[in-house]
Structure 1
């Protein structure tokens, strides 16, 4: 399996080229900035680009779609049906539970809502190895927020991570939608959100103001961009994951 990545400036968004081997079949996963090395690799390795698979509709993950289609016109663009109308270039849908064959690869879509309603993660395998592409659901050391456009709930993203993504073997590579790769095992042991969910670390209880409203700060964790992601609890008991920049503590 060939996996190559580029990361855009600014948003630090990853785009991946995944292929079954030289002279073989390939897909792009997302279409953020800085794609030229991947587009060149398709031609250099004599790959056939069969599909562009989108984890979700946010602009930083689709902003270079037109450029890809100019270079490889007619390439199908697939996204979850719940977000298809949000991406004009989309030509079809990704259906969780229905494998996508790409040459010698098998791609299994997983519905992992939370950051968006139609978020999908992709398990790619070639019969010898497998890798997870998690979009904006799970990052190295962090998790997706549930305040972005089209978001769902805290309960959704927790379930997507704990009940789906982290059920794979510990050595399974994770390729997130932003910045560095990681593994299932590393996130189970080192991700501060996951450690609390597993009962390994205690919840925090510091009063705070979140999005201008009183709340309790359960965790202020590091985020992929050098900032923070905050798990907060509202007075009615609802939990939320919001940008750390939107939280003020009283200390």
Structure 2
């Protein structure tokens, strides 16, 4: 059984630590800083074997150099030469073995052009999706187009509904607050926001989510519904799913 532990970093990042059964060898995903990773590894006498990188942004890669120097892990990431330290560059359709499990590489451009996500089936099925899919939201479009992001989200939405979704940021409360405006008829969103507020009041992570849950509460996965489309119409175009997505993504930027 693979366990996943959140390592809080920076202001609202999660660095995910993967561990297979009781093995002392571990993997981390998107180390935006090294110090909290090193502290946990030293405290629990763990060995850093592998690092997964989803995209090039500094809050996902700034810890790489120090972790590589200290532990010499195998680093897997997208085919982007600006990310220093990657040993194994991957693209859509590739498979990588991490802690004894095979992960599928899924290209998910939109937030950035180089963004990849990592999915492993099984019990439980796990998805590490960086800044593409958040609980109740999706990433800003810094480099990609709305069409690319919508396609990426739909690709992830086709994964099994019980897949655990490990996003890279604690954005859930802000995302669900917006989702109440963008999907006002959705009772699932109202309940999810209440549960999120309880968790954050206790300083607990709101992640992971699941694909099935996101299909119920995430407005970017629900752009074909009457509720989201009508709400979008008061802020811009809603002629089709892409127009509706573009409208609510821009609306969220200034919400």
TM-score bucket of the superposed structures, by smaller chain: 0.7 to 0.9
- Give the structure 2 partner of residue 154 of structure 1: 146
1:64–1:187 CA distance, 2 compared to 1 (3 A): same
Do residues 77 (structure 1) and 75 (structure 2) align?
yes
- Give the structure 2 partner of residue 56 of structure 1: 55
Structure 1 residues 182-193: aligned runs within 5 Å: 182-193=209-220
User: In the TM superposition, what whole-angstrom CA distance separates every residue of 1:10-34 from its partner, at most 9, and x where no partner exists?
Assistant: 3x12211112122254221111237
1:168–1:115 CA distance, 2 compared to 1 (3 A): same
Q: Aligned residues, how many? A: 215
User: In the TM superposition, what whole-angstrom CA distance separates every residue of 1:20-72 from its partner, at most 9, and x where no partner exists?
Assistant: 12225422111123752x43444565544332110000011111112322331
> Is the contact made by 2:103 and 2:119 (CA closer than 8 Å) also made in structure 1?
yes
Q: Give 1:104 shift.
A: 2.2
What SS does structure 1 have at the residue aligned with 2:228? coil
TM-score normalised according to structure 2 size: 0.73
TM-score normalised according to structure 1 size: 0.74
Q: Give 1:242 shift.
A: 3.9
Decide which of 77, 82, 88 is 1:86's aligned counterpart: 82
What SS does structure 1 have at the residue aligned with 2:249? strand
The alignment yields a C-alpha RMSD, in angstroms, of 2.9
1:186–1:48 CA distance, 2 compared to 1 (3 A): same
- Give the structure 2 partner of residue 124 of structure 1: 120
Structure 1 residues 1-251: aligned runs within 5 Å: 1-10=2-11, 12-33=12-33, 35-36=35-36, 38-43=37-42, 47-72=46-71, 74-81=72-79, 83=80, 85-125=81-121, 127-146=122-141, 148=142, 151-162=143-154, 164-179=155-170, 180-181=206-207, 182-197=209-224, 201-203=228-230, 204-207=232-235, 216=236, 241-242=249-250, 244-246=252-254
> Is the contact made by 2:125 and 2:162 (CA closer than 8 Å) also made in structure 1?
no
1:42–1:197 CA distance, 2 compared to 1 (3 A): farther
Higher strand share goes to which structure?
Answer: 1
Q: Give 1:131 shift.
A: 0.9
> Is the contact made by 2:147 and 2:242 (CA closer than 8 Å) also made in structure 1?
no
Higher helix share goes to which structure?
Answer: 2
What SS does structure 2 have at the residue aligned with 1:202? helix
> Is the contact made by 1:7 and 1:32 (CA closer than 8 Å) also made in structure 2?
no
What SS does structure 2 have at the residue aligned with 1:178? coil
In 2, distance between residues paired with 1:104 and 1:45? Answer: 21
Q: Give 1:195 shift.
A: 1.8
What SS does structure 2 have at the residue aligned with 1:201? helix
In 1, distance between residues paired with 2:30 and 2:85? Answer: 13
Q: Give 1:246 shift.
A: 4.3
1:75–1:23 CA distance, 2 compared to 1 (3 A): same
Can you give the 5+ residue segments of structure 2 that lack an aligned partner in the other structure?
Answer: 171-205
Can you give the 5+ residue segments of structure 1 that lack an aligned partner in the other structure?
Answer: 208-215, 219-230
